[in-house]
Structure 1
Amino acid sequence: MQTLAILSGSGALPFQLSKAYPEAMRVVFHGVEHRLLAPVSEHRFDQLGALFDDMRANGITDVVFAGGMARPPLDPTQFDATMMTLAPRLMAAFQSGDDAVLRLVIAIFEEQGFNVVGAHELMPEITAQEGLIAGEEPSASHLSDAARATDILLALSPLDVGQGAVVAHGLCLGIETLQGTDALLGFVADTPERLRRQKGGVLVKIPKRGQDLRVDMPAIGPETIHNAAKAGLDGIVVSAGKVVILDREATLAALDQTGLFLLARVM
């Protein structure tokens, strides 16, 4: 009997999970793109009571959140009874950063009797393991840039801002915000040469300090690699065991094609 539900956003991770757990209930949300194959159970964010009832009817005990998902627009005219009671808490959380919202979502599902598990707990192999994964060994300058980017991100953690930063030759060229990593890399690519001074640089991806890794674990994929190359970077440093590599085969191919290094370190 199935006991796991995959709550799907966009991207490759929900599909990977559905292949690993073919008996799992596949939940998608109205208005959110997904790659899951039928059968799927579609629900609305503003009718969470119906989702909880559906999962209970299917014997679900565990849920995993996977894939990208923007903050949903909520239509009060569509609220069911459960959502009416939850809305004030959700609306208040929406005034904060992503981590605050996701912590509340976890709490709500646990209050409803569901056990929230992380994708990395179900598929440990999807995370970046410690060591040089691809490319040439980074130089002392690269490691110094990575250390500075890490310091910046850890300093910003209490503000719940982002999970990525780019540093080149000691200069911070950008910090990930609500728009995401690809937007950050696009911003770096558009930075005039007179400001960058020298080509190169490193993207660092780490979780926020104290972040609950069961949801919104930092991730990189083939697009990250290609966009980092377009931004003129030399490589990427990630937190070992705490960053997901999406579509690993395609990501490794992109690293080989671009010549970027990928290093996972304990941070």
Structure 2
Amino acid sequence: MISSGKIGIIAGNGQFPILVARSARKMGLKVIAVGFPDETREELSQFVDEMHWVKLGQLNKLIKIFKKARVTDAVMAGGVTKTKLFSKIRPDWRAIRLLSKLDANRDDAILRAVAAELESEGIKIQPSTLFLESILASPGIMTRRKPNKRERADIEYGWKLSKEVGKLDIGQCLVVKEKAVLAVEGIDGTDATILRGGKLGKGGAIVIKTSKPIQDLRFDVPAVGPNTIQTMIEAGASVLVLEAGKTIMFDREEMIRLANKNKISIVAISKDVEKEPVKKKTDKGKLIQEGLVDATTTFASEVTTPEPDTPSISAAAPGKKIKVAVIGVGYLGKYHAEKYSRIENADLIGVIDIV
């Protein structure tokens, strides 16, 4: 996909730009990064071939840096503290012209406009997860503790509302409890939203983090990490709900360790949860207890029951076990092996990988 042998990184805050840079260099690409003072980590310079610095809003300077380095592909990795957009931004003539054409200063609208401006100069913006698809959340329950009946009802309720809020391009995080909205993410960000909701909920709140229906995965992909769990601990929240395949999980193992230690449940659901064909109502609690073999059907208001001739763990005859095996000993292999080992009518006969 990257034919020039170079990749540009527009680097925001956090560890994401460093992960992207390291993965790109492992693939033999030359990395040219542009960062922002007080946002981008200075250590990023250790993992790139060229490091440049611009102030927030210096769009023309950023484009000139990439064109001088003959960069034709770039990624936007890491965010920018949104409150600084009102105090630290110093737009040049190009940024002012771009912003003047927008109807509102919404995240996606601004980023799409910046991407279009770059592409007009021959710099194509690639998906931010181009080199790191392995750190996207996988469907299922990742922790020892599973959501209880009340929490599952809140998840269904909050999931639908989160998508409606996303349509308005407001935020990616919603906090609910007992089918009441406690907090909606604004410009203050996810952590502040969790703390606001946790304070109102007084324990047991559900944190839902999803992509927007209009989400452009070239930038602003929802992301969580150990700090998210630490914030949930402080807020007294009990369940973290993510969108599978569209949410970045930094330090996944540390997240799960912290969650298990503090009895927090982490659940990842497919975006297709509400698009499943309806055939027959199924006991959702039972599906949860069986290990969430199919996360996309677990929290739908009505889920699909397999046809009689469709192989299924849950369709095994009483007293009989279905033999299963897992291919791959990586994170997902371990994850599925653990799930199958807990299902009473599944006989896990082995885990296989290539050596």
TM-score range, shorter chain: 0.7 to 0.9
- How far 1:92 sits from its partner (Å)? 4.7
1:204 to 208, 227, 234: 208
- How far 1:162 sits from its partner (Å)? 0.6
Helix, strand or coil for the counterpart of 2:219? coil
- CA deviations over 1:196-238 (Å, ceiling 9, x no partner): 4x73121111011111011001111111111112221211111
Q: Which structure has the larger Rg over C-alpha atoms?
A: 2
Which moved further from structure 2: 199-208 or 50-59?
50-59
* Structural mapping, 1:66-215, within 5 Å: 66-71=77-82, 72=85, 73-75=88-90, 79=92, 84-93=93-102, 95-191=104-200, 196=201, 199-215=203-219
- How far 1:20 sits from its partner (Å)? 1.1
- How far 1:86 sits from its partner (Å)? 4.3
- How far 1:148 sits from its partner (Å)? 1.3
Q: Classify 1:259/1:107 alpha carbon distance in 2 versus 1 (closer, same or farther; 3 Å).
A: same
- How far 1:94 sits from its partner (Å)? 8.1
Structure 1-normalised TM-score? 0.87
Q: Classify 1:181/1:135 alpha carbon distance in 2 versus 1 (closer, same or farther; 3 Å).
A: farther
Helix, strand or coil for the counterpart of 1:166? strand
What is the distance in 2 between the residues matched to 1:240 and 1:178? 24
Which moved further from structure 2: 150-159 or 60-69?
150-159
Q: Classify 1:37/1:177 alpha carbon distance in 2 versus 1 (closer, same or farther; 3 Å).
A: same
8 Å Cα contact 2:10-2:77 kept in structure 1? yes
1:27 to 29, 34, 38: 34
Higher relative contact order (Cα pairs below 8 Å, separated by 6+ residues): 1
Q: Classify 1:91/1:29 alpha carbon distance in 2 versus 1 (closer, same or farther; 3 Å).
A: farther
8 Å Cα contact 1:226-1:258 kept in structure 2? no
* Structural mapping, 1:247-262, within 5 Å: 247-262=251-266
RMSD of aligned alpha carbons = 2.1
1:219 to 220, 223, 226: 223
Structure 1: unaligned runs, 5 residues or longer: none
Helix, strand or coil for the counterpart of 2:58? helix
What is the distance in 2 between the residues matched to 1:57 and 1:150? 45
Number of aligned residues: 256
Q: How many percent of aligned residue pairs carry the same amino acid?
A: 27
Q: Classify 1:261/1:117 alpha carbon distance in 2 versus 1 (closer, same or farther; 3 Å).
A: same
- How far 1:61 sits from its partner (Å)? 1.5
